[in-house]
Structure 1
Amino acid sequence: AGAGYLNIFYDRARVLANHLGVNPLPELNKEASREKICVEHTSVNPNKSAHIGHVRNAVLGDTFARLLRAIGQKVEVQNYIDNTGVQVADTVVGFIYLEKMDLNSIIELDNRLSREGKAFDYYCWDLYAKVGQAYLNDEQLKERRKEVLHAIENGNNEIADIADYIAMRNVECLLKTMEKLDIRYDLLPRESEILHMNFWQKAFEEMKNRNVIRYETEGKRAGCWVMPLDSHEGNEEYDADKILVRSNGTVTYTGKDIAYQMWKLGLLGLDFNYKPFYVYEDGKKVWVTTSSPSSPDDIPSFGKSDVVYNVIDSRQSYTQEVVKRSIAAIFPEKGDEASIHLSYEMVALSLSAAEDLGFTISDEDRNKPFIEMSGRKGLGVKANDLIELLEKKALAEVEKRHPEEKEDEKKKIARIIAIGALRYFLSKYTRNTIVVFDFKEALSFEGETGAFCQYSVVRANSIFKKLHEKELEQSSRFVKEETEKIREILQHENEIWALLIQCFLLPEVISDAIKAKEPAVLAKYCFNLAKAFNLFYHTHRIIAEENQARKSLLIVTADIVRRTLTSALDILGIKVPDKM
């Protein structure tokens, strides 16, 4: 016998009635397991201002955490602070040897910049680029970097104190920048504590005891401890066996990452001390690790996660593979599934965006499809500059459309549009796609943009501002009670039914986005739903409709769409303004 088929027919009126006034995400909480999930994202080197590439990381990580929370999952968001790394050392070199400053003079500079309305992280941005140029002509300064890095790693000295001040002031600036994008964190784990609280030593002993690392006695790796990766094909860039401890005894980044990953998964047997670092306006605290014993009463339980998602760019794929395999080798019961790398490609600028930001474009660059950035050369887009220019351009559009509005209200609308534009633009591309940022494209009210999705909700909301107070309630009651009339209309209105089905699929779309680890799945859904609603809006005269049954159906359909699209956009971190 051939394959069998099953035809299913929905009672469209009953399906609609069951969805009236219901949360667009009603069934999702049932999907959540008892697992705790950690999402680590942003993780900017705390030596200067964040740039647009860091914003893509933060938006991806924040949106993925929102997707997980939408299904009722317990999520902890961490932002790893590499406060002992070479980038921080470079900025310290700049302050000490180029600017001739000690800690007190750096603090005085910071205070003066604040009084002048200037940002400390911007000053560090310029200084970092200056140091990069100085290294090209000054070998002695490069040697200073090694001394500074060694002092920072050892801690408890004047240079380490300078590094700590610079790093944590840059972190404070970062938190304020990300708060503009509605991106928040629970914990800031610092590399200094991983070094000073013997996390690496504990992980190292665990790996030796379980025979998952090997000490090399000959060849170019003599004196090194390595992680054998027999199935990885070595090449000029990557060795098949990953060095975790160099022959001089220093630990590589990968080694420290393994120790940190073990702690995140609750496998290390050690814990940090914690203290509050930053408080958001609503009272939520961001905690930071510390090596000093502390005992605030309200310390949450950090780490001990069942699954960890690390949002790190694709250039770190090899390192993340080593971390994942190391955890699986040390703790076979955890396997590969506990460590998941959410990789992504870089962000570049279109030629017009580069010109908007004041870059000088060479003839050579004009022949390129996009402009790449380099923090070491000072060529990049600071996140705050990007946000401010987006707000400025959005405000110009709002002033054209609503000149009668009060100035504060126009700025509020422009800010919501700008943030929505940026978050949507960075979410709509799949993670393995290079994003070429363009202001005109991002802010367009037409096409696949955040503004188009926002405008669709504003348009839907405007319908209900024109209806009398009880009309939605009456229409909902009519649809529930007069099912025969609604059934007859829906039987012939496939376009309306298709729009409703599209709304009802939101829970499935969220599940698909999580399984694929692609926020772009939800972004695409928002655009398609907004596009379908606009067709519906232009096809039907909702307010002027004279047939009571048909008008009630149109009203409840518009209400379901606006609530669904608002919920979906909220998961993308996008708010909807009152008007556009």
Structure 2
Amino acid sequence: MYRDLEHRLAQHIREFLRSSYGVDLEKIVIEQPRVELGEYAMPLAFELAKKLRKAPRKIAEEIVSDIGSIDGFAKLEVAGAGYINARVDRTALAVALAKHDKPAVESSSGKVLVEHSSINPNKAAHIGHLRNAILGDTFVRLLQFAGRTVDVQNYIDNTGVQVADVVVGFLHLDKKSRAQIEELAGKPRFDYYCWDLYAKVSQWYEQSAENKKVRLQTLHEIEEGRNETAAVAELISTAVLRRHLETMDRLDIEYDFLPRESEILHLHFWDAAFEKLKEAGVLSFETEGKNKGCWVMRRAGTSGVARAPSPAGNEAETGAISSTVDQDPERVSEEDQKVIVRSNGTVGYVGKDIAFHMWKFGLLGRDFGYRKFYSYPNGHQCWISAEHGEPEHPHFGDVERTYNVIDARQSEAQNAEIEALRGLGHGEYADKLTHFSYEMVALTPRCAAELGYELSEDDKGRAYIEVSGRRGFGVKADDLLDALIAAAKQEVNSRHPELAESERQKISEQIAIGALRYFML
């Protein structure tokens, strides 16, 4: 729509200059000024000054006075020494946008998968998660508007370190039983309780090396599954996940499928991927150095893959099947290696992600079980992965292209997953895996201080401070939404006291959510 307006403006200006001044400008330069000055700014009068032997402002005034109306624009104005600013007719634009006229394009036969949000289910969602979800949801809407069929997926890391940390907090710091945790999980904002506990656990780890060992043991038990620790992790992560969906539902953000890491492990997605990666020489087993006992792959951009035979004992520990791997003459330095399977047999998130991406493109030969998990007010159903699912379910995966909405800090991990697909001989799919990268949200020291956080002298001198769940440092998503709605409600109440309370509340929510979505883009 805006491109059409820009093209129309340039074409009208070009025709006017040709008929009024006999001047033919091949290109009309159009810039974006500050919003209060209009939507478009044109410095063309400066370019014409020498040819017409007039002052730029005089030329700009003549053009604005004589050009007449332009469809889609409210008016043209002269600014400064000779700029011409164009203001869009916003009423007409709003009416046109409200029609929801889709472009005349044919939908591709291939299905697109967009993975976004992917919040660790261990605590409340924060402002950084909101940016991811809003970017992802906006991209999904653009693809759908263009006629694409889109699967919206929210990857749930319910077996990772972050969930393990909260489990440690409940079992070892709070000393709570599963029944007590279940009672807490039924409360409205259980995710807030987990937020505070997660920060306490991080401090507890710093007290001794023995405390950190508890994390590794807990993580191992969660990945193994079918034990009390794994049951507690399932209880906590499911309750927090449901809260995340409720939070995003406030923004009208919906998902089709929630694939979980627990099923990637227990349905042996990783085992199948692990064998394929070893057979292709993508992974190697380290017998010395700081990565001794680990399965590693070379980092993207380095050459050579280290290949060494694995002892049978380690293969049994990781669930691998014996395979013959030749020694590569060119060893990859430890700095160029990415650990996929740790020496204690636990699988890093990149390894599980590789298996997941193989499933996305239909390359794994395995599938999830599916069960219904969350129903939206409009009737849309969100499904979740399961070991034993319902017999009738939608078909997910096996897509033509996939986009991962993940912040720029995860670029290395995303590149590793792309390189793994190439190493497996699936370069065509590697080219169809796109990292939708964006910069993270941060707080200014002033904002952090206003929120009541204690800042060190170093923090006070920084331009911004990263949101950190481990420090309990950040703005919770629901708190931000509540504050924005309250601020909008105050304004709506003062301007429209004649409206019913329910109508004022609805308008306040629309304003707050619209403002937040716009700001996050």
- Tell me the TM-score normalised to structure 1 length: 0.65
1:62 aligns with 2:137: yes
The residue correspondences of 1:68-107 to structure 2 (distance < 5 A) are 68-107=143-182
Which residue number in structure 1 is paired with residue 390 of structure 2? 295
> Is 1:243 the equivalent of 2:339?
yes
Deviation, structure 1 residue 227: 2.4
CA distance in 1, matches of 2:296, 2:208: 34
CA distance in 1, matches of 2:202, 2:149: 42
Shift of 1:25: 6.2
| 2:455 counterpart of 1:368 | no
Spell out the pairing of 1:535-554 with structure 2 (5 A cutoff).
none
Shift of 1:405: 2.3
Distance 2:275 2:334 in 1: 25
Aligned to 1:475: none
Which residue, out of 473, 486, 509, partners 1:392? 486
- On the 8 A contact 2:102/2:145 being kept in 1, the answer is no
8 A contact 2:220–2:346 mirrored in 1: no
C-alpha distance in 2 between matches for 1:408 and 1:22: 26
Change (3 A) 1:361 1:97: closer
Query: Could you report, residue by residue, the CA deviation over 1:198-249 in whole angstroms, capped at 9, with x for unpaired residues?
Result: 1111111222333333344555444443323573399xx9832333233443
Indicate which of 433, 444, 448 corresponds to 1:354: 448
For structure 1, which runs of at least 5 residues remain unmatched after alignment?
A: 1-5, 428-580
CA distance in 1, matches of 2:283, 2:179: 45
Rounded to whole Å, the distance in 2 between the matches of 1:397 and 1:110 is 36
C-alpha change, 1:246 and 1:86, in structure 2 (3 Å) is: closer
Shift of 1:352: 5.0
Equivalent residue number for residue 355 of structure 2: 259
Paired residues for 1:268-287 under 5 Å:
268-287=364-383
Give the match for residue 131 of structure 1: 201
State whether structure 2 residue 384 is matched by structure 1 residue 309: no
Question: Which residue does the alignment assign to 1:419?
Answer: 513
* CA pair 110-249 structure 1, distance change in 2 beyond 3 A: closer
Alpha-carbon separation, structure 1, partners of 2:471 and 2:112: 37
> Are the aligned partners of 2:116 and 2:153 in contact in 1 as well (CA < 8 Å)?
yes
Q: What is the match of residue 235 of structure 2?
A: 165
Equivalent position SS for 1:207: helix
Question: For 1:287, what is the secondary structure of its paired residue?
Answer: strand
Q: What is the aligned partner in structure 2 of residue 576 from structure 1? A: none
Quick one: percent identity of the two aligned structures? 49
Aligned to 1:549: none
Deviations 1:9-65 (A, max 9, x none): 89x99x99xx99898665635253111111111111101101001111111111111
What is the letter of the counterpart of residue 143 of structure 2?
A: L
Residue in structure 2 matched with residue 553 of structure 1 by the alignment:
none
How far, CA to CA, are the matches of 2:447 and 2:495 in structure 1? 24
Contact 2:155 2:259 in 1 (8 A): yes
Q: Do the aligned residues in 1 keep the contact of 2:283 with 2:297 (CA within 8 Å)?
A: yes
CA distance in 2 between counterparts of 1:248 and 1:52 reads 35
AA in 1 matched with 2:469: G
CA contact (8 A) 2:300 2:412 kept: no
2:117 is equivalent to residue 42 of structure 1: yes
Per-residue CA deviation, residues 398-455 of structure 1 (Å, 9 max, x unaligned), is 122223322222221111111011110000xxxxxxxxxxxxxxxxxxxxxxxxxxxx
Give me the whole-angstrom Cα distance separating, in 1, the residues matched to 2:172 and 2:462: 38
1:260 deviates by: 0.6
Look up the match of 1:445. Answer: none
Q: Give the alignment of 1:561-576 within 5 angstroms.
A: none
Does structure 2 retain, via aligned residues, the 8 Å contact 1:29–1:70? no
Aligned residue pairs, count: 410
1:264 shift after superposition:
1.0
Give the aligned residue type for 2:407: D
Tell me, yes or no, if structure 1 residue 108 matches structure 2 residue 204: no
1:224 and 1:368 mapped to 2: Cα distance? Answer: 38
Distance 2:491 2:470 in 1: 35
Q: Does residue 1:181 correspond to 2:261, yes or no? A: no
Q: Between the two structures, name the one with larger relative contact order (CA 8 Å, sep ≥ 6).
A: 1
Structure 1 residue 83 displacement after superposition: 0.6
Counterpart residue number, 1:379: 473
Distance, in Å, in 2 between the alignment partners of 1:62 and 1:371 is 26
Which residue number corresponds to residue 59 of structure 2? none
* TM-superposed deviation, 1:335: 4.4
SS in 1 for 2:464: coil
Separation in 2, partners of 1:75, 1:51 = 26
Name the amino acid aligned to 1:342.
Answer: F
Q: CA separation in 2, counterparts of 1:238 and 1:307?
A: 33
Deviation per residue, 1:523-563 (Å, 9 max, x gap): xxxxxxxxxxxxxxxxxxxxxxxxxxxxxxxxxxxxxxxxx
Amino acid at match of 2:254: R
- Residues 136 and 209 (structure 1), Cα distance of their counterparts in 2 relative to 1, 3 Å cut: closer
Q: Deviations over 1:467-496 (max 9, x none)?
A: xxxxxxxxxxxxxxxxxxxxxxxxxxxxxx
- Give the counterpart letter for 2:270 in structure 1: W
In terms of fraction of residues, the more strand-rich structure is 2
Per the alignment, do residues 360 and 204 of structure 1 end up closer, same or farther by CA in structure 2, a change over 3 Å counting? Answer: closer
CA apart distance, 1:363: 5.7
CA displacement at 1:182 relative to structure 2? 0.8
1:230/1:241 contact within 8 Å kept:
no
- Cα distance, 1:271 vs structure 2: 0.2
Q: Which has the higher helix share?
A: 1
Would you say 1:334 and 2:428 are equivalent positions? yes
Deviation, structure 1 residue 349: 2.3
Opposite residue 127 of structure 1, the aligned amino acid is L
Structure 1's 174 and 238: CA in aligned 2 closer, same or farther, altered over 3 A? Answer: farther
What SS is found at the alignment partner of 1:271? coil
CA contact (8 A) 2:185 2:239 kept: no
TM-score, scaled relative to structure 2: 0.72
Q: SS state of the match for residue 182, structure 1?
A: coil
One-letter identity of the residue aligned with 2:418? K
